Chain A
Amino acid sequence: MQIPYTVEARPDTGLYNAKLGIWLFLASEVMLFGALFSSYVLLRTGAESWPRGSEYLNIPLATLNTMILIASSVTMVMSWASLKLGDFRKYKLYMGLTVLAGFGFLIVKYFEYTAKFAHHYYPSTNTFLGIYFTLTGLHGLHVIGGMIVNGYFWGPGSKLWRRDPERFANRIEVAGLYWHFVDLVWIFLFPTLYLL
């Protein structure tokens, strides 16, 4: 049996099914990160004192990571646009760059985390570091998840392009929506944890 509405829009929603599906998933993700942001606000307003992020965290490295992630969002959307223009080679280039940017982000994060541990800063050290490791750790897991999906579509998953190019372009759009969401979360994490 063929999966319905993978390319053409459903008459009632005006969307192909996967697109509505990913937006529903992202809505649940908003609530997941929203709960943690809410916890952060509650912990901060209830604390007698709260450190500035710069007392513990490396702002230049986090700024570099912000640049890496927004650059990866551009390469991601360019990979989708390349498919829409029928240029598969450019798709491979942009998607490859997106996956590499994900690696770059995680490598920078690795250096950040190891520097914290070298200074004996752990999630149990204080409330600020507890929420910092929780939020950035959960975000990092989302980056890894996105890289696995993007890596699959860069490699074996890209065979679908030959059989059903429209469907493959839709898959990349859906993967892109997730990846941009991960970027969006970081855009709020960066000032909240590092700069305030």
Chain B
Amino acid sequence: MSAHDVEAIRRQTRTYVMVFAALAVLTVVTVAASRLDLNPGMTIAVALLIAAVKGSLVAGYFMHLIDERKAIYWLLALTVIFFILLMFLPLGDAADSIGGVPTPV
């Protein structure tokens, strides 16, 4: 390993410690935000937004996704598409019954 690579790894380790600090602070912020008297929709939005930021930090820095090969990005893009389908298709079924029992066809 070249001296340049060694220095790059050393820089990364400093970043890992900073990411850990950010994750710890965001965990405290999540708990504090849940105690605020927000409406239910806002409470869910804030909690999921903070979780998304924390998740991005873990995926980006610890899992090295900020600097990864294209094959991984394509694989993850496909995963995201199927994940979104998985999350929202069942909700479409639930939406059918809003306002009463759906009329049988």
Q: Which residues of A contact B (CB under 8 A)?
A: 13-15, 19-20, 23-24, 27, 30-31, 34-35, 37-39, 41-42, 45-46, 59, 63, 66-67, 70-71, 73-74, 76-78, 81, 84-86, 176-177, 180-181, 183-184, 187-188, 190-192, 195-196
Closest 5 CB pairs of A and B: A195-B34, A191-B47, A27-B79, A14-B69, A74-B20
Most buried by A among B51, B75, B78: B51
Q: How many A-B residue pairs have CB under 8 A?
A: 123
Interface pair A177/B9, CB less than 8 Å apart: no
A70-B72 contact, Cβ under 8 Å, with A45-B94, A84-B1, A86-B1: no
Q: Which residues of B contact A (CB under 8 A)?
A: 1, 5-6, 9-10, 12-13, 16-17, 19-20, 23-24, 27-28, 30-31, 34, 43-44, 47-48, 50-51, 54-55, 58-59, 61-63, 69-72, 75-76, 78-79, 82-83, 86-87, 90-91, 94
Interface pair A15/B10, CB less than 8 Å apart: no
Complex A-B: 17 CB contacts under 8 Å: A23-B76, A30-B79, A31-B79, A31-B82, A38-B90, A45-B91, A67-B27, A70-B20, A70-B23, A73-B58, A74-B20, A81-B16, A188-B48, A190-B51, A195-B30, A196-B43, A196-B44
Interface pair A34/B71, CB less than 8 Å apart: no
A191-B94 contact, Cβ under 8 Å, with A24-B75, A31-B86: no
Determine chain B's interface SS by DSSP, over half rule.
helix
Which A-chain residue is minimally distant from B34 (CB atoms)?
A195
Residues of B within 8 A of A187 (CB): 51, 54-55, 58
Most buried by A among B10, B20, B70, B76: B20
